[in-house]
Amino acid sequence: MPFEKLAEMLLPRDVIGGHGAIEKIGEVFFKITNSKKAIIVTGKTSAEIAGNRAREILESSGITVNMILTEEATDENVEIVKEEAKEFDAKVIIGVGGGTKIDIAKKSAFDLGIDFISVPTSASHDGVASPRASIKKNGLSVSVEASMPAAIIADTEIIVTAPFRFLASGAADVLSNLTALKDWSLAHRLKGERVSSSAYAISEFAAKEIINNASDIKPNLEESVWLVIKQIAFSGIAMSVAGSSRPASGAEHMFAHSVDTIKKGNGLHGELCGIGSIISMYLHGGDWRMIRDTLQKIGAPTRLDQVSLKEEDAVQALMMAHKTRPDRYTILGESGLSEIAAREALKVTEVL
């Protein structure tokens, strides 16, 4: 495969994981900057789980902290954080949470041109380690460019306390790299899109690590958390190397975003990507049963009823999925699936 054209590539300087990793946040902070001011973006629950502890450690290290409690990842909340950060003259924004708070933090840091530290409290998707953020604009979630974490601090003691469903969802999100890569290769063959062989290999490695270790991903085990977090980090690195989310986002992600758009079901992002990957692999003529079986080993959903999604909703989502990223060519093509093809895919893959 031809190499991606030369571009700026930013990678995390530190990925700190393990029991009690949050205790190193002060040390990590001073590796990144000489500033003694930090913004922590978190939510009420996330603050209780980890944000308050992060603040205590930073302040004991001589760092002045401004903690911002926020909610949804919206344009409006990003602007609030940016204004606070500018007024505070912060050089680093720290996101503490499971997803939306980290999205707000890294988008704010990107817009301001300052560093971002990711401190996940759960691992439900690869966003905790990627240079992309899902931000709501006019009620719709849009994937936008954001800061790659300068550091990731994944305290397994904290993350293991989150419901296991979140960890299984994160593993499913990484597993779905396999179909994203098939879409990338397809776009290369049919549209001449350039593919980064390095990013491709890193993304594929992460997905295969999930497959090879699926039986070891279990509830209440910090080893399982670290196993998944490492692959999430590799997915983020693959995206940074590629300069886009291509190595980890294809038709399966379009399906997930489409379900979000029609606001149906209760599936987590990674769970929907997992189900979407079963369908996408079938459309590619690949081994969709392997995807399904791996998800089942992990304990992630493989059927619509497990995410409260009705057949008609899934058909609608599949038919409109290609519109969520019209600039990205996938197995869905430029005109999308027909109703007949969508129903057939759902039936054959047994996700109904």
- CA gyration radius, the chain: 19
Same domain as 247, residue 111: no
Residue 2 pLDDT > 90: no
Whether the pLDDT of residue 4 is over 80: the answer is no
Mean pLDDT of 228-257: 95
Which residue in this structure is represented by tokens 């057939």? 344
- Whether residues 111 and 42 share a domain: the answer is yes
Axis crossing angle, helix 269-283 with helix 164-175, rounded to the nearest 10: 30
296 inside domain: yes
In a domain, 5, yes or no: no
Paired tokens of 226:
């670290």
pLDDT category, 1, cuts 50, 70, 90? very low
Structural domain boundaries, residue 25: 14-159
Specify whether 52 is located in the same domain as 191: no
Q: What is the value of pTM for the model shown?
A: 0.92
Q: What is the per-residue pLDDT across 259-289, written as a single tens digit (0 to 9) for each?
A: 999 999 999 999 999 999 999 999 999 999 9
The CA dihedral of 121, 127, 128, 131, to the nearest 10 degrees, is -160
**142-165, pLDDT tens digit by residue?**
889 999 999 999 999 999 999 999
CA distance 99 to 42: 10
Pick the more confident residue, 125 or 217.
217
Domain count, the chain: 2
Rounded Cα distance, 324 and 245, in Å: 14
Q: Assess whether 228 and 144 both reside in one domain.
A: no
Give the CATH number for residue 85: 3.40.50.1970
DSSP string, 94-118: EEEESSHHHHHHHHHHHHHT-EEEE
For residue 230, give the CATH number of its domain. 1.20.1090.10
Structure tokens at 39: 């913004």
Residue 297 pLDDT: 98
Q: pLDDT value at position 5?
A: 46
* Judgement on whether residues 181 and 303 belong to the same structural domain of the protein: yes
* DSSP annotation of 352: -
8 — pLDDT class (breaks 50, 70, 90): low
